Amino acid sequence: MVVNKNALFSRFNAPFSINNLRWLRQSRARRSKAATSGPAFLMYDLYTAVLGFGFLRRSTSCIHAVVRASLPRTHKKITIFKDMLKVIVTLLLFTSWSVQASPKIETWKTSKGTEVYYVHAPELPMVDIEIIFDAGGSRNGKLPGLAAMTAGLLSQGAAGLDADAISNAFESLGANYGASAGYDSASVSLRTLTDETLLTKAIENLKWLISKPDFPKDALERNRSRTLIGLKAKQQSPGAIAKDKFMSAIYQSHPYASPNDGTEKSIAAIKRKDILAFYKKYYVAKNAMVAIVGAVDRKQAEQLAEEVTSELKEGNKAEPLENVKALTKAETIFIEHPSTQTHILVGQPGLKRGDPDYFPLYVGNHVLGGGGMVSRLFEEIREKRGLSYSAYSYFSPMRFNGPFLAGLQTKSDQVDEALSVLMENINSYIETGPTEEELIASKKNITGGYPLRIDSNSKILSYLVVIAYYKLPLDYLDTFNANVEAVTIEQIKDAFNRRVTPDKLVTVMVGSSKDAKKTAP
């Protein structure tokens, strides 16, 4: 594949990654067979430095340092920065390489029924492990914030160790760990080296973290205080207020309607017994999945999965939740807030993971508002009229229909005009769809960035978790670009016509506008 200029500059701006390291090693091997001094030597080392270390971007001093370290003594004092840039451009424009194949995904179950998804990535001596539980905010019940509170307390005390001891235990191994909860799931993650001694101890620590948490009372109160402070701070953010109100309005009685971090009332009401009950119900082997990416073979991965889940109770899979209900009418909500700009969000429930309309909506939205500075909303609202610094739209697929959302921020005296332009463009796009030129450009942009989506263990792990949790096809990454390329204008128009209904859109505005049509309680 001949690499275009934009793709190469994307590589130049990319963070350091496993693929970059591989390219660097290969380039060094090639250089050893090339000239060992003079321009050829310089060009090879500069090229590999740029491709291999994205963190050197836009840093003159760093580039000079790399070149000085690479040059023979006789070349160290040569002023070459401008020539270096010419070399970079020349090499980038005329060099080609093959795109790495998508990672191979293997799957099985542990003896306790936990599903395991595994990708072998031998490039670096480390492994990333994530245990995912069906224990997200949608399981909060009448106590919003309970799932997040439970996940946050796992590392605050386990197997008799306090938070400091747990932190020191991982730090002494050079390992990183974390826990979090979203709307659909909660997860605990570990990154560690594959040295046998270090790996064995890190897995043991992680095992006790998920199977023997103490949920100490003092840690609960500290977490409660921090959360309440955060919730109070949210009230000063018009963007956060708008998002919470938007989710509440489009999801109504569904669990997605409640803020994942809870409310002041619910956080104050959570007791230790609530956390224990939540943990015992949802943090069990049959309600979990394990994702592994790293330099361990299949046999080692099987052993790791067995060991890390060995102390979990077998339990049961979480019960099914209700589907999201379609909206029956449009609604406009205005919330008064002393901000210099008004935040506007417009949308409704959109699509779920694995939805057959995913690719037409994803590619189509890239033209409408998901393509950044080249999208229609950005062009019409910012570039042509200067009404907002940014304007965007996106679909956020979840287990059930996640939100379709279009948004912007504008001066309070421009709210009517900005909202009018936003709605005109949404309505027009639903009717006509993209032009052929817009569709081609969108596809190139999406598929051209594909290698960067899987150029590190952490990125592969993120995709692996999504594929595992939402039961996407194991060849999802292999077929991603083909699915994008297969999208047609007619498919986009059909999908937008069926899935985005202007007469049922919810509009939320937070700011100082006088033209409120409905005041939120």
Residue ranges of domains in the chain, CATH in brackets: 5-94 (no CATH), 106-309 (3.30.830.10), 331-511 (3.30.830.10)
**What tokens were used for 211?**
């199977």
- Separation CA 206–CA 188 (nearest Å): 8
pLDDT band for 455, please (50, 70, 90 cuts): confident
Span 265-302, pLDDT tens digits: 999 999 999 999 999 999 999 999 999 999 999 999 99
Instruction: Give yes or no for residue 365 having a pLDDT over 80.
Output: yes
Query: What is the reported pTM?
Result: 0.79
Whole-angstrom distance, CA of residue 60 vs CA of residue 410: 37
Residue at token pair 């580039």: 63
Task: Find, among 101, 152, 111, 119, the residue nearest to 468 by Cα.
Answer: 119
More confident residue, 5 or 431: 431
Q: CB count, 10 Å around CB of 40?
A: 12
Question: Edge to edge, what strands does the sheet with 186-193 contain?
Answer: 106-109, 115-120, 288-294, 126-133, 186-193, 176-181
In this predicted model, what pLDDT tens digit does every residue of 310-335 receive, in sequence order?
999 999 999 999 999 999 999 999 99
pLDDT in tens, 177-220: 999 999 999 999 999 999 999 999 999 999 999 999 999 999 99
d(CA 102, CA 115): 21
CA distances from 156 to 162, 167, 218 (A): 6, 9, 9
Quick: pLDDT tens for 31-79: 444 433 333 333 333 333 333 333 333 333 333 333 333 444 344 434 4
User: DSSP states of 483-504 as a string?
Assistant: HHHT--HHHHHHHHHHH--GGG
Average pLDDT, integer, range 158-186: 95
In this structure, how many other beta carbons lie within 10 angstroms of the beta carbon of residue 497?
12
Which runs of E-coded beta strand occur in 244-401?
288-294, 331-336, 341-351, 391-395
Q: Is 331 helix (H, G, I), strand (E, B) or coil?
A: strand
Helix, strand or coil for residue 375? Answer: coil
**Per-residue pLDDT at 99 exceeds 70:** no
pLDDT for position 364: 97
| Local confidence band at 81 (pLDDT 50, 70, 90 cut-offs) | very low
| 11 has pLDDT over 80 | no
- Spatial distance between the Cα atoms of 177 and 417, rounded to a whole number of angstroms: 48
Coil, strand or helix at 435: coil
So what's the pLDDT on residue 514? 62
| Confidence (pLDDT) at 513 | 66
pLDDT at 385 over 80: yes
Structure tokens at 321: 């939740």
Report whether 362 contacts 352 (CB < 8 A): no
pLDDT of residue 257: 97
Strand 115-120 relative to strand 288-294: parallel, antiparallel, unpaired?
A: parallel
